[in-house]
């Protein structure tokens, strides 16, 4: 199976990100700093020689704008995919940092169900078909622009670790993790190499 470079990217900064509040499927635009940090990310990727053939993105404004800014510098065809939306936080939308810790940033399924939000299992169920479809394409370099929780679950799927809070794969805004992969068996990925938090380093939560 052909090898593929996947750049898993979190969108640029928004106002709730600055306030360290839960931001799920509420449609919020980037801050001015969010735009600038995505431009810095695009320059970094260009310097690394990244030339994506396709940019898959969540349709939420903050992700789509991030994808557009990346495309203007790197090229590639933008494809919107609903499965890349952020987790639905339900009653916990807008929760502060302490509230996020209480729900384990979305990984506490019981609390998420009580708050009528999505669970990590439900996010995984919608992401797996997307990832399988990407792995079947002939594209050898793709960007995936999504959100904090969705990106964490996607990374957990690729490296095959439990989809739990202790294994959270955190990304800062306008940061990315890199995966060189090939398709494995059914619903599996062979990860050949990984570079995490490539631009900003580990995110403290």
Q: Exactly one of 36, 79, 82, 86 is catalytic; which is it?
A: 86
Is 44 a catalytic site residue?
no
Is 3 a catalytic site residue?
no
Dump the DSSP string for 52-117: -SEEEE-SSHHHHHHHHHHHHHH--EEEE-GGGSPP--GGGTT--HHHHHHTGGGT-HHHHHHTT-
Decide if 146 contacts 173 (C-beta within 8 A): no
Q: Exactly one of 11, 118, 139, 147 is catalytic; which is it?
A: 11
Secondary element (H or E) of residue 56: strand 54-57
Secondary element (H or E) of residue 176: strand 176-183
Q: Which residues are catalytic?
A: 11, 86
């Amino acid at each position: 199976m052909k090898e593929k470079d996947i750049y898993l990217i979190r969108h640029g900064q928004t106002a709730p990100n600055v306030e360290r509040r839960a931001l799920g499927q509420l449609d919020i635009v980037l801050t001015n700093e969010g735009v600038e940090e995505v431009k810095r990310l695009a320059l970094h990727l260009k310097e690394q020689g990244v030339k994506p053939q396709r940019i898959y993105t969540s349709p939420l404004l903050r992700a789509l704008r991030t994808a557009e800014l990346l495309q203007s510098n790197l090229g590639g065809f933008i494809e919107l995919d609903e499965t890349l939306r952020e987790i639905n936080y339900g009653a916990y939308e807008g929760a502060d940092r302490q509230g996020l810790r209480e729900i384990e940033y979305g990984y506490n399924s019981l609390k998420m169900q009580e708050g009528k939000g999505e669970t990590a299992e439900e996010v995984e169920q919608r992401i797996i078909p997307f990832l399988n479809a990407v792995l079947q394409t002939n594209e050898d370099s793709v960007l995936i622009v999504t959100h904090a929780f969705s990106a964490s679950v996607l990374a957990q799927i690729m490296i095959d670790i439990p989809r739990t809070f202790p294994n959270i794969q955190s990304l800062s805004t306008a940061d990315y993790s890199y995966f060189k992969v090939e398709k494995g068996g059914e619903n599996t990925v062979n990860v050949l190499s990984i570079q995490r938090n490539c631009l900003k380093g580990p995110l403290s939560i």
